[in-house]
Amino acid sequence: MTLLSRYKLLIYSLLAIFVCAGLATSLVYMFIKGNLYKTEINSYKDAVFVKTEEIRVTLNSANYVSESLSEDLFLKNYLLSFERDSQNPSILKNLSLHNIAGVFSAIYLMDIEGNTLVSTDASFVGKNYAFRDYFVDAKEKGRGFDVVVGVTSQELGYYFASRIEDSEGKPLGVVVTKLKPEIIGDKMDFLKKDQNTVIMLADRYSVIVYSNKLEKLYNSFFTLKDTQKNNIVDSKRFLDKNIIGITSFSFSDFVKSNSAEVNLLSQDGNNFYYKKIGDYDLFLFIEESIENQLSTVLDISYKSILIISFFSLVASLIIFLLIKNYLKPIDLLYNAALTVSRGNYDYSIDYTSQFVEMQELLLAFNMMSSSVKKAHEDVEKKVQTQTQKIIEKQVFLEEQKKALVNVLEDVKEEKNKSDNLGKELEKFKFAVDNASDHMVITDDDGQVIFANKSVTRITGYSISEIINTKAGVLWGGIMDKAFYKKMWNAIKKQKKVFAGEILNKRKNGEIYPAEVSITPLLDKKDEVKFFLGIERDITKRKKDEEKLQSVLKNLKEQDFKLAEEKAKYEALLASISSGIIVTNEKGHIILVNKAAETMLGKKSEEMKNKKIYEEVPAFTEKGILISKKDRAVSQALITGKQQTSLIGKTYYYKNSEGELFPVGFMVSPFIWMEKVIGSIVVFRDISYEQGIDKAKTEFVSLASHQLRTPLSTINWYVEMLLDEDAGVLNDEQKDYLKEVEVGNKRMVDLVNSLLNVSRIELGTFAVDPEKIDLINMTDSVIKELEPQIKQKKMKIIKKYNEKIGKINLDQKLIRMVIQNLLTNAIKYTPKEGKVKVEIKKTDKELLMSISDNGYGIPKKQQKNIFMKMFRADNVKLRDTTGTGLGLYIVKSIIEQSAGGKIWFDSIENKGTTFYFTIPLKGMVKKEGNKALT
């Protein structure tokens, strides 16, 4: 028997495995390489897009400073005056105050001819910059931006220019802010993928003004024409720099590029990603070699090939050992038969096979060999002594031959049994393969080792894609983690059958429902060996159920009364002048009225079923997007409480032209069966009211300033008269003057309160925090009020947490809060009353409360207690001296400056407790031109 004939089955099996493994390896390599390279390109595009947005926000902030200065009344009055002295101290101070955190290398003011009048960098004064593009654009269009090297400073800068106009719109001059280049440069470091990545910023001519590779600076990315180079030289953009193109791309490619998307160009083995930054003539470029981008892709691809090759070799080795072990008894039988045929009747086969058929065949051969040996020995003995018994011996031999024939027939019968068993298995496999249900068998780790034809029909995956892959990777993974955790616990730990409904995914991405049954198959040791999964696609049944539900829904919608009521409500919403938006519990818009469509410039159909946070974004006055968690809609849906506009905090929405407008709003949650199921947002454009309120506030501020001087004069002369500097007074004259002094003091207090209110509403007051001891400050306020306390024979109860320590607070502002609350508690509590002051510390904030057992606040008037000029009816009758501004100022300080909260509990004729909290981080420093008094 030749080697080829013995191992023909083995050789063919191994060849099939190697061919399949080779094909699979090639397909996997091509698939992984293509997809990973696309992912790598998209990651670079995402990085460029995110970074351009970040730079745009920074440039917008710098531009806002220039635009706000263009509206400054001091600058306008200075440019309108006939005598405009160079480096005017007041104007210089005003410009310097706008250099927040020192981000500008210069802020300067020019007349309409381009002459610099005032500058924070004195070297700019007297210079004419009318030749600069940013000056020309600002003069003609109202706004200018450019990135150039300064002819005075010899340094690169980002220039933002805004035109200053008089009340009739006539140009008076231009104010310019020069942003330091390192402000933008610092943001570029985060883009580096590795040391070979090239990051560049380029201007309108594609001239590189920033790069992490210095050799790229002041060269153009695209090839420029002579006319473009001449424009750069004539406008002295980069002084005497020689501009050279670093790529062969034409400038026309640059002009045609899509500024809204990240563009990609390739040349000389490099990829170039670039995008325009907002509305500015500035472009962000990233250069990365294609070889670097492919290195990671190729590494993963090669590893995948090695893994497939390794497992192919392992599978080949296992098959080789199995087939060799199965065929070994046949080889032994062949050799044994040859040995016995040569006369060696003592020979027997000493081998145990794990295959039952082969072991029985070996035993039958040994029995035959033993019988032949015995017969041969008997013949030899009796031939010598009894020749006449030869015939009998021949008969005996004939019987032995029959026994041998019977043994061979048994062997043949066993072979027939094996063939029949194979046919039965073929029948079973045919039945399973053609079953309508999806059936798979997996190992104990969920990896598929068998799948019938219905699996391919239902999921769309081929058998080659399914085998040796985990089921969850192909069609699973749709349900939540808790579902799969429960399933694995049942079939693997509890070793029970798991049955239920599940959502799976076809190869084309379609989600389909199914009934599934997973049975663990156990070995003799009661350990899970395999899993049998049977799944039935119930898509049609589900669709039938949905159709039934749809029919029921249509029947309900046909109800005439409901339709009539709905029409009435829609007509009512359409007639309301305020904007109304209704959302579900997830913040998705389900209804928008006509007024909201008009204000937002969007149709109801555009906004329905979309998130209100994305369709109706809210902004601060400075154009900063308000986060989802800080939106009133989120708070209403989470807390179930009504939300309204806060004092000093105004939301801004965008209209169809992208312009911001202020809104006053109220958000009410829908609550059904103690569960929030949605919200209704009612808002209106308060631009007109805001303008009136600002004019009123400015008038109050101006009037209060003007009143201070005569009041101070009155107070000074009254003090002089009372001190008898102008002559001796009688008692009656002194009484009159004391009445004047008291009245004047009340007027001064009222003027100070009005000034504080106007500074709060205009946002011009400063916050200057420092480390202070809140307990010591509270005690000093109580000590100041001792005369009133003693006069009313009151008892002060103090309860302090001594471990509070010092905290960052503005001493004047926090003193004003404590002084106001304590004064009210003493003022509105009868004689011999009690006032309790308590200070606590929690994990994140400081809590202070001031309680009294005084007159309290009527329940109907409690909602108005923090409003301007409001005083409760029960205290107006007892004390007529209050202004009604104190609690408004206190609330504004706590919420706007300290980032805290203030509230109260009160029962009329029993007392009131005011609470306020301050975060442990304290107040944040804020620049302002005035402090609260």
Overall residue count recorded for the chain in this entry: 933
Q: Are 351 and 333 in contact (CB under 8 A)?
A: no
In the chain, % of residues over pLDDT 90: 19
String of DSSP letters for 604-646: HHHHTTSBHHHHS--B-TTSPBPPGGGSHHHHHHHH---EEPP
CA 765 – CA 309 distance, rounded (Å): 74
Per-residue model confidence as pLDDT tens digits over 781-804: 999 889 899 999 999 999 998 788
- 456 three-class SS: helix
The token pair at 271 is: 């990829």
The answer to whether residue 161 scores a pLDDT higher than 90 is yes
pLDDT digits (tens, 9 = 90+) for 358-382: 677 767 777 776 776 676 667 667 6
For residue 405, how many other CB atoms are within 10 A of its CB? 10
Kindly report which listed range (138-147, 753-762, 782-791) carries the lowest average pLDDT score: 753-762
Q: What are the angstrom distances between the C-alpha of 343 and each of 348, 371, 423, 678? A: 13, 14, 41, 99
| The pLDDT of residue 699 | 56
| Mean pLDDT, range 15-31, rounded to an integer | 70
**pLDDT at residue 423 in the model:** 66
Sequence-ordered list of residues with C-beta below 8 angstroms from that of 125, at least 6 positions apart, any chain: 86, 87, 108, 116, 117, 118, 119
Burial of 69 (0-12, 13-18, 19+ CB in 10 A): buried
Residues 282, 202 contacting (CB under 8 angstroms) = yes
**Which three-class secondary structure state does DSSP give residue 83?**
coil
Query: Which tens digit of pLDDT belongs to each residue from 575-610?
Result: 677 889 999 999 999 999 888 888 899 998 889 999
DSSP track, 640-662: ---EEPPTT--EEEE-TTS-EEE
How far apart CA 397 and CA 196 sit, in angstroms, is 93
Binning pLDDT at 50, 70 and 90, where does residue 297 land? low
Measured from the Cβ of residue 16, the count of other Cβ atoms closer than 10 Å reads 12
Q: Label the pairing between strands 589-592 and 643-644.
A: unpaired
DSSP string computed for 713-729: HHHHHHHHHHTTTTS--
Can you tell me the distance from the alpha carbon of 685 to that of 650, in angstroms, rounded to the nearest whole number?
11
374 — alpha (psi -120 to 50), left (phi > 0) or beta?
alpha
Q: What is the largest CA-CA distance in the chain?
A: 182
pLDDT, position 206: 85
What per-residue confidence (pLDDT) applies to 124? 93
- Above 50 in pLDDT, residue 1? no
- Supply the pLDDT for residue 114: 94
Q: 266 to each of 209, 219, 324, 448, 585, how far by Cα in Å?
A: 22, 19, 57, 43, 48
pTM more than 0.85:
no
Give the pLDDT score at 3. 47
Handedness of CA 692, 697, 698, 703 (dihedral sign): positive
Q: What is the pLDDT of residues 828-845, one digit of tens each?
A: 999 999 999 999 988 889
Q: Which residues pair with 611 in a beta bridge?
A: 588
Q: Which two tokens stand for residue 572?
A: 């009512």
What local confidence, expressed as pLDDT, does residue 778 receive? 92
Burial code of 312-350, b = ≥16 C-beta within 10 A, e = fewer? beebbeebeeebeebbebeebbeebeebbeeeebebbbe
